[in-house]
Structure 1
Amino acid sequence: MSNQAVEIKILGRTLKVNCPTGQEDALIAAAEDFDNRLKELSERTKVSNPEQLLMFTGLNICSELHNERREKNNYADDLSNKISQLTENLDKALQNQPKR
């Protein structure tokens, strides 16, 4: 798979980033989301130091990611438990069927 150079803009700086072909739109959307988060955090906290903004925004994104993973794992565990209960109920129901 080849890479494509894509220009993105973060905190007013234009950067060229290599990206797998076909993923350019996703990279641009991610960069726009990241830039918006940085601007919102700067406005909300009045922090203007780019390094601090990058660090705090990165930490916020990691926190969101961990929460999403935890929720996904909880959902998967719940679903697995429900499937086990259904399987158990079906097994019991089949055992109670009269034999032909």
Structure 2
Amino acid sequence: MSSQAVEIEILGRTLKVNCPEGQEAALRAAAADFDNRLQELSQRTKISNPEQLLMFTGLNICSELHKERREFNSNAQSVSDRIGQLAESLDQALQNQPQR
């Protein structure tokens, strides 16, 4: 798959980033989300140092990602457990059926 340079803007700086073909809109949306998070953190905390903003925003995103992964894994385990219970119930129901 080939890639192309896509311009994005982060903290008022325009950057060219290589992007796989067909993923340009997703990259631009991710860049806009990231830039919005940086701007919001700057306004909320009054931090103006770009390196600090990038670091804290990156940490916040990683924290959110870890939380989402834990929730996903917990939900996946719950679904798996429930499927196991349903399979056992079906097996028991089938075993209790009179033979024909």
Query: TM-score w.r.t. structure 1 length?
Result: 0.99
Matched letter for residue 90 of structure 1: L
Helix, strand or coil for the counterpart of 1:56? helix
1:74: how far off?
Answer: 0.3
Helix, strand or coil for the counterpart of 1:58? helix
Matched letter for residue 47 of structure 1: I
Unaligned runs of 5+ in 2: none
CA deviations on 1:15-54 (whole Å, 9 max, x unpaired) are: 0000000000000000000000000000000000000000
4+ aligned runs moved over 2 Å, structure 1: none
Q: Distance in 2 between matches of 1:18 and 1:71?
A: 32
Q: Distance in 1 between matches of 2:81 and 2:3?
A: 43
Query: TM-score w.r.t. structure 2 length?
Result: 0.99
Aligned residues: CA RMSD: 0.3
What is the number of residues matched between the two proteins? 100
1:4: how far off?
Answer: 1.0
Percent identity for Structure 1 against Structure 2? 77
Unaligned runs of 5+ in 1: none
